[in-house]
Homo-oligomer: A and B are copies of this chain.
């Protein structure tokens, strides 16, 4: 897993004359930390390993970020921004489209983030570890990245089911939609073993988007007022 260290000159304390400069060191630390946090989680990642990967002195983390927890918070913010640059389910929506199309756009956008590999996936890898061992940093990720997306989705759902469904019902419906998408991230290893032919990659984005959208629109139709929700018998 260890990568060759970049050729950054190692100094006891980073200084403004340092080549390629302290800004570059901070950026290298962020990149290295994202990989180490994704591979080990916050608890087991060490500042020593991060600095070695970044080709930086161990003092560089406290100089640029303060401590491991603040470096971690910075990594979550930076990887979140990069993931949002790939696709942002709230930002990418076109408000002129009808609600069903906007639901489809939400599904496609979040799925495309989940199926994307490479550096854009590090945010998701780190968040997957947060689901097992949450840290204080998760509060901010939820408020900065997830709440806006959830509110966007709930607004679309509100349009689809009408104003008479209570707010708690809208939230539960939103979770029924979003869970179908996140499943392909959180349960991928099971899927690879259970249905290897069904394992999604970027090439199946449209097929999966259509399936989840159709299932969700039909499910939501069952909750639209004034119609009665379907009973289980």
User: A residues near B, CB below 8 A?
Assistant: 44, 98, 100-101, 103-104, 128-132, 134, 138-139, 142-143, 146-147, 150, 168, 171-173, 175-176, 178-180, 182-183, 186-191, 193-195, 197-198, 208, 210-223, 229-233
Contacts and interface: CB of A to CB of B under 8 A. Distances in A.
A128 B217 CA distance: 30
Contacts of A223: 214-215, 218
B100 A190 contact: no
Contacts of A143: 193
Given A179-B180, A214-B222, 5 more contacts: A131-B188, A175-B191, A179-B182, A179-B187, A186-B186
Contacts of A176: 180, 211-212, 215
A190 B222 contact: no
Nearest to A103: B232
Given A176-B212, A176-B215, A214-B232, A186 B150 contact: no
Task: Give the most central of A130, A211, A215, A223: most B CB within 10 Å.
Answer: A215
Which secondary structure dominates where chain A touches chain B?
helix
B189 A138 contact: yes
A129 B132 contact: yes
B214 A216 contact: no
Contacts of A194: 142, 146-147, 150
Contacts of A216: 219
Nearest to A134: B189
Nearest to A107: B232
B232 A222 contact: no
A182 B172 CA distance: 14
B190 A138 contact: yes
Contact of A232 (B101, B172, B178, B187): B101
B193 A183 contact: no
Task: Give the most central of A146, A171, A189, A219: most B CB within 10 Å.
Answer: A219
A232 B218 contact: no
A46 to B, nearest CB: 13
